[in-house]
Amino acid sequence: MLWPIFVLFGPWWWILVIVASIWIIAAIEQEKGFMATVVFVGAFIAMTVFGTVPIVAWATGHPWLTAGILGAYLLIGGPITGVLRWFTFVHDELEKYELAKRSWLRSHDVDGPDMPENLRLKWLQHVESLFSWIKITGEVDTTRQPVYDRGRAGPIIWDPATIKIKQSFPKAWDYKSRIVTWMAYWPWTLFWMLLNDVISRWFRIIQERLAGFMNAISRRVFKRVKGDFELPQPDDEKTSK
């Protein structure tokens, strides 16, 4: 062992753990599993070579206990965290879809969350390029406007008579590399899920529940402002004359 820098629970040890953890979480969120592995291995080597805990010597001296710890890590924590993270992931995708839908409906002067039947084809043409889990097939309608490839100048315009919805929800198989990364680095995945997804989702729920009460306060405070925007009716104009 070289001169110990990363003494267990010492200041430099904590700095290494925190920096490496932030880097690993960022790599996981950006779907860079290889980068997460590089950071993890680098931190492990730094702790082994410049630390006070003989990790390799202890592992080789206790092979069965080491195997049990690794087995529990991979077979218990990984699958459980993978399922929990997938649960939050699909809810996040649904929220993104609903947000995009509400914004698009407002741009078409539609109040409420329901998609009018006469706008469904337009919506399908629009949303198909936004979410990879929406997959449709059909013949291209070249009479309406030029055809573009996905991700370029615009969406493909399908012939409505030939459209078939192949997929309308995220499938785990399409995200297998991401799920494997979640499971392999489940302590970091679980920590970030609890910190970002669960807590932020809880505050969003509270905000949604309080929105009506807050709007009532706002209406009461601004009740005199509405009169400044009310135009006189024809009967009122005649009376004033």
Tens-digit pLDDT profile for residues 35-61: 999 999 999 888 888 877 777 777 788
Cα–Cα distance measured from residue 86 to residue 174, given in angstroms and rounded to the nearest whole number: 12
% of the chain exceeding 90 in pLDDT: 27
Q: What is the pLDDT of residue 220?
A: 87
Q: What is the pLDDT of residue 35?
A: 93
Burial class, 201, CB count within 10 angstroms (exposed 0-12 / middle 13-18 / buried 19+): middle
Tens-digit pLDDT profile for residues 200-232: 777 777 887 888 888 889 988 988 887 787 777
Q: What is the pLDDT of residue 235?
A: 65
Mean pLDDT of 83-93: 91
Rounded (5°) CA angle 162-164-165: 155
Residue 149: pLDDT over 60: no
Range from 57-71, 93-107, 140-154, 159-173 that averages highest in pLDDT:
93-107
Provide the pLDDT confidence category of residue 71 given band limits of 50, 70 and 90.
confident
Q: What is the pLDDT of residue 89?
A: 92
Tens-digit pLDDT profile for residues 98-124: 999 999 999 888 888 888 888 888 888
Residue 143: pLDDT over 70: no
% of the chain exceeding 70 in pLDDT: 88
Mean pLDDT, all residues of the chain: 82
CA-CA-CA-CA torsion for 142, 146, 147, 153, nearest 10 degrees? -170
Q: What is the pTM of this model?
A: 0.72
Site of tokens 């202890």 = 58
Q: What is the pLDDT of residue 238?
A: 53
Q: What is the pLDDT of residue 2?
A: 54
Cα–Cα distance measured from residue 135 to residue 75, given in angstroms and rounded to the nearest whole number: 33
Range with lowest mean pLDDT among 20-34, 141-155, 174-188: 141-155
Domain boundaries, the chain: 1-61, 62-221
Long-range CB pairs of 191-200 (<8 Å, 24+ gap) are 191/21, 191/25, 192/25, 192/28, 192/29, 193/81, 193/84, 193/85, 193/88, 197/88, 197/92, 198/88
Task: Please report, for residues 51, 129, 194, the alpha-carbon distance to residue 18 in angstroms, rounded to integers and kept in the order given.
Answer: 16, 38, 17
